[in-house]
Every structure is written in C-alpha cells, then in structure tokens.
Amino acid sequence: MSLPRMQPKDGVAWITGASSGIGAAVALELARRGWTVAITARRLELLEAIAERAVGLPGRIVAHAGDVTDADAMRTVVDGIEHVHGPIALAFINAGMAPYSKDAPLDLGALDRAIEVNLLGVARSLFPVLERMKARQRGQIAVTASVAGYGGLPGGPAYGTSKAAAIHLCQALKLDCDPLGIRVQVVNNGFVDTEMTRRHNRYKMPLLMPAEEAARRVVDGFARGGFEIVFPRRMVWPLKLINLLPYPLYFALMQRFANRRRPGSPGADP
C-alpha cells in the first residue's frame, strides 16, 4: 500500500506543544504553506498569541488548549478539532519537557516527569487521533523525539530514556500503521534555540539552530515522508555512528563529551 503524504486539502494539521519553540514555529510554517493548524499546549494565552501571528498567512491557526498527560483532555481536544474544523490529516505530536535533575546520578522524580510527558503524553495524544485515522485508513503522524534518544548520554538519564522510548514507540507504530494507510514519522533533531534549551542548558550548545530553521526542516520532512526527520546532519550522523561502536569505545567518547560539558549542566540534552 502506498502511504499518503498529507496536504492541506486532506484536512487540518494538529500540533501539541505549540505554545512556544519548535511547535509554535512549525504551526506558523504550516500556516504559511496553506494549512489550517490546530495548536495545543497548557498555556492558552500563548496559543492565542501564536494564532494571532498567523493572520494574513495563506492558512490559519486555531487554539485548543490541553495537557498531554490527561488522556480524557486529549480525546476532548481531538473530538473538538474534528467537530469544528474537519478531519485531522497531519498530527505533529511534539509536546515535551526536559526535567531538572537535582539528584545525581539518578533522580526518580525527574525520570517520572520525563516519562509522564515525553512518553505517556505522546501516547495519550496519539491514541484518539490514531483511532480516527484508523477508521479512515488514512493519515500522517510525526512525533518529536530527539538525538538524545539514540544512546545513553552523561548528565542525567531521565530525558534521554524518555526519548529513546518515544523512538521505539514510533518504530513499532510504523510497522503496525503502514498496513492501515497511516504514515508514521519521528523527528530526531539536535539543539534548537527554544524556551527549553534556554532554561536548562548553561553550556555552549554545538550547532544550535533557530526554531524557524528547525521548523522549515520539519515541514520539509513531512512533505518528503521518510520515517526519520533528522537535523543537523553534522550532529546526527556522528551520533548514529558512535552508537554502532563497541561499548568500551562508546563510553570513552561519551566520557570525553561529559568532561567538556561540565560544569553547570543540569542534563537537558537535545
């Protein structure tokens, strides 16, 4: 079965985690390319400000507030969007957080919070939209994970563990969704200049990218349709290769990275 790449004529786009950063920039980029975009996050006033910025663009943005950790709220949001604006053709499940880890090497609270938003929040957002796409045998879904999910990184395992699980979820879903006519993609990017990285990362982030540039690459990736949307390649491919190395080499390289990054990093990886 050939999988569809969704276009504005197929329905609306839905983005979670769109009150700031990558999600907000992707919403504006999709509106520039003619999409009606429903955006979700907890801070309604920020969502409304993003919607206001889309006035005059070929598409438009509408705000539907909700917390991705609340499964009932996500069902209500999806029902509301489809009732008012029509079928969700493209879902960008992007909401995420980087927890501050105060207890090294393992902060249970941080792990709990990261899994709650970055894994269970992803699944709770996906579930209602997947049900609807399954009934229609048509749709496109992309999830924001991170290059931090490729392999263990120093500086607190909470974020990376949650992102590794998100990548795994997407890989498994792709296999099961392909026969249903639903395209599944994962976005694994490096450092992007957003609220999250500004708040947490007190070290110089290599190849830091503006959110608008990241958004163009994400939206181009939706249009190309490949499973993994990755950037910047100069960061992604070395990390992929490092993860193929035997463990003694892998750990030696990661330890060098850790020594360069300390002091003062609380452990928010890209």
Ligand X SMILES: NC(=O)c1ccc[n+]([C@@H]2O[C@H](COP(=O)([O-])OP(=O)(O)OC[C@H]3O[C@@H](n4cnc5c(N)ncnc54)[C@H](OP(=O)(O)O)[C@@H]3O)[C@@H](O)[C@H]2O)c1
Query: What is the closest distance, in whole angstroms, from the C-beta atom of residue 78 to ligand X in the complex?
Result: 14
Residues numbered 108-137 forming contacts with ligand X, rule: CB under 6 A? 117, 121
Q: Which of 37, 41, 142, 165 binds ligand X (CB under 6 A)?
A: 41
CA distances from 72 to 78, 128, 246 (A): 10, 9, 44
Residues numbered 94-113 forming contacts with ligand X, rule: CB under 6 A? 94-97
Residues numbered 49-68 forming contacts with ligand X, rule: CB under 6 A? 67-68
Q: Which of 146, 154, 183, 266 binds ligand X (CB under 6 A)?
A: 146
Q: Which of 101, 140, 161, 194 binds ligand X (CB under 6 A)?
A: 194
**Are residues 152 and 247 in contact, defined by beta-carbon separation less than 8 angstroms?**
no
Cα–chain-centroid distance for residue 53? 22
> Is the preceding peptide bond at 263 cis, omega within 30 degrees of 0?
yes
Nearer to ligand X, 10 or 14 (CB): 14
Nearer to ligand X, 35 or 150 (CB): 150
Nearer to ligand X, 140 or 162 (CB): 162
- Tell whether residue 169 is a contact of ligand X (CB under 6 A): no
- Tell whether residue 48 is a contact of ligand X (CB under 6 A): no
- The one-letter amino acid code at 150 reads Y
Q: 241: part of which helix (H) or strand (E)?
A: helix 233-242
Residues numbered 13-32 forming contacts with ligand X, rule: CB under 6 A? 16-23
Query: What is the closest distance, in whole angstroms, from the C-beta atom of residue 191 to ligand X in the complex?
Result: 4
Q: How many CB atoms lie within 10 A of CB 265?
A: 17
Both structure tokens of 59: 């598409």
Start-end of H helices in the chain: 21-32, 44-53, 71-85, 108-114, 122-136, 157-177, 195-200, 211-224, 233-242, 247-261
Q: At what angle do helices 211-224 and 21-32 cross, to 10 degrees?
A: 60
Residues numbered 227-256 forming contacts with ligand X, rule: CB under 6 A? none
| Contacting positions for ligand X (CB under 6 A) | 16-23, 41-43, 46, 67-69, 94-97, 117, 121, 144, 146, 189, 191-192, 194-197, 270
